[in-house]
Amino acid sequence: MDGGGGEKTQKSGILLLHNALIVTMDPTSRVLRDGALVVDGDRIRALGPSPDLLREFSPLADDVLDLHGRFLLPGFVNTHVHTSQQLGRGIADDVDLMTWLHERIWPYESHMTEEDSYLSTLLCGIELIRSGVTCFAEAGGQHVAGMARAVELLGLRACLVQSIMDSGEGLPANWSVHSTDSCIQSQKELFKKHHNTADGRIRIWFGLRQIMNATDRLLLETRDVAQELNTGIHMHVAEIPYENQLVTSTRGVDHGTATYLEKIGLLRSNLLAAHSVWLNDAEIGFFSNAGVKVSHCPASAMRMLGFAPIKEMLDAGVCVSIGTDGAPSNNRMSMVDEMYLASLINKGREAYIRGTTNPTAVPAETVLKMATVSGAKSVLWDNEIGSLEVGKKADMVIVNPFSWSMVPLHDLISSLVYCMRTENIDSVMCNGQWIMKDQKILNVNEQEVISMAMQASSDLLNRAGITLPKRMNFV
């Protein structure tokens, strides 16, 4: 699909944004009431009070934008999303986990083409951008080339991984042939081809789908090759009690996946452990000591997995960020919704484990941090993104809070977590380029993507032989 203009036609000059409430998320949590920010090329050149920056930069700026008191935030980082599953939204609602996996998701994913993956990522990317995401960590799909093409076009920033499995029961026929060597080799090739492409917006990570689909050799070689290439590893960790039970009974450890990964030296600061729901206190300590990053996905946790000890992890100093997971596990790929849920699930969990509620648990500023700076740390990119600071990349979001959903704005920071809706996200910039402006997606034709994705999705379900049981009484 051709681009709809946007990126190619935007100037890379100096842009001055002023009269904004700037939530910097910098190390001192500065919030500028009447702030201005200067974008020069792909980076933030200056940040400060509007009168000062207007005086200094108005003569130099190619464009001056009055934000009329709207909010300016760093772009959100979604640290666990299956972009390839967007065409599978609604194929596995209200079913048990085994049906979800064996009868819906595996047939769906194993019948995808690269073109399906491209369209799925475009559709998912539109939803991500609309919810203020500028960077995401792919959780693992089959066709990285398709994802990369979509990310490049959309203008997003991403850490892409292939879905990697070299063992496991009941895998689709075309998946069970992957040897450990071919798993490592194909990722090395993807790294060579796509890492640091799209003006540096795309990075390639190594994937481990989950421990039940990984031999020891795959785990160890992934650990070593990722270290050698100085990149990250994205893995689903301790998702369900059964996983821990299996690891305990087959791999000779006393608790579960996290304990085993500690034993084999895979817990390192470049590991992004998605979900990490079933961790005990000792394992939280391992994560903290090793600098492991956790992606907390509250919606899919509530629906399929359980209550992760997020408060305990945060108290222990673990870097916890937020992910949406995939469309068949959550249905909504909105980081705005996920931030709201991240706060609620962890307040609710306090009643579940302690018998009494704790509305002070995981407050709004903590959730904002999880969605921005901690997200950037989780994807090993915090030297360039995650906060609005001079010298960092211009990845940011304009929020229009003056709507029925957010006024009267007594508590500006809490309003971003408890009141903000996806519809309050007004404009999104990534790498110094607008990718959504005044709620219009710029680099792709949104309607065209929607109709192509709907067609591709129904073709894919036909090929995969997925049929859904009827609900209610259609006449």
**What are the residues binding Zn ion (CB under 5 A)?**
139, 325
Q: Are 86 and 51 within 8 A, CB to CB?
A: no
What token pair was written down for 463?
């090929």
Q: Are 274 and 301 within 8 A, CB to CB?
A: no
State the minimum distance, in angstroms, from the CB of residue 236 to Zn ion: 5
State the minimum distance, in angstroms, from the CB of residue 326 to Zn ion: 6
Taking CA atoms, 77 is separated from 133, 152, 158, 188, in Å, by 6, 17, 9, 25
Cβ partners under 8 Å of residue 447, min gap 6? none
Q: What angle do CA 15, 18, 19 make, to 5 degrees?
A: 165
* Residue 387 to residue 393: CA distance in whole angstroms: 9
Nearer to Zn ion among residue 124 and residue 139 (C-beta): 139
State the minimum distance, in angstroms, from the CB of residue 49 to Zn ion: 43
Nearer to Zn ion among residue 325 and residue 337 (C-beta): 325
Of 193, 442, 172, 159, the closest CA to residue 295 belongs to 159
* Residue 176 to residue 183: CA distance in whole angstroms: 11
Measured in degrees and rounded to the nearest 5, phi and psi for residue 239 equal: -80, -40
Taking CA atoms, 405 is separated from 177, 397, 418, 420, in Å, by 51, 18, 10, 7
State the minimum distance, in angstroms, from the CB of residue 378 to Zn ion: 14
Sole residue written with tokens 């596995």? 92
State the minimum distance, in angstroms, from the CB of residue 82 to Zn ion: 6
* Residue 3 to residue 77: CA distance in whole angstroms: 24
Q: What angle do CA 375, 376, 377 make, to 5 degrees?
A: 90
Nearer to Zn ion among residue 42 and residue 325 (C-beta): 325
Q: Are 367 and 314 within 8 A, CB to CB?
A: no
State the minimum distance, in angstroms, from the CB of residue 161 to Zn ion: 11
List, in sequence order, every residue forming a beta bridge with 429; answer none if it has no partner. 396, 434
Nearer to Zn ion among residue 88 and residue 432 (C-beta): 88
Nearer to Zn ion among residue 74 and residue 323 (C-beta): 323
Nearer to Zn ion among residue 222 and residue 431 (C-beta): 222
Cβ partners under 8 Å of residue 157, min gap 6? 134, 135, 136, 151, 201, 202, 381, 385, 395, 430, 431
Nearer to Zn ion among residue 272 and residue 399 (C-beta): 272
Please give the helix or strand (H or E) that residue 435 lies within, else none: strand 433-437
- With CB atoms as reference, the residue minimizing the distance to Zn ion is 139
Nearer to Zn ion among residue 331 and residue 400 (C-beta): 331
What token pair was written down for 22?
């700037």
Nearer to Zn ion among residue 325 and residue 426 (C-beta): 325
* Residue 30 to residue 7: CA distance in whole angstroms: 31
Of 382, 405, 449, 394, the closest CA to residue 427 belongs to 394
State the minimum distance, in angstroms, from the CB of residue 425 to Zn ion: 24
State the minimum distance, in angstroms, from the CB of residue 308 to Zn ion: 13
State the minimum distance, in angstroms, from the CB of residue 151 to Zn ion: 18
State the minimum distance, in angstroms, from the CB of residue 272 to Zn ion: 11
Nearer to Zn ion among residue 45 and residue 234 (C-beta): 234
First vs last C-alpha separation in the chain: 38
Nearer to Zn ion among residue 32 and residue 238 (C-beta): 238
State the minimum distance, in angstroms, from the CB of residue 297 to Zn ion: 7
Q: Positive or negative, the Cα torsion across 171, 137, 339, 314?
A: positive
Measured in degrees and rounded to the nearest 5, phi and psi for residue 72 equal: -120, 125
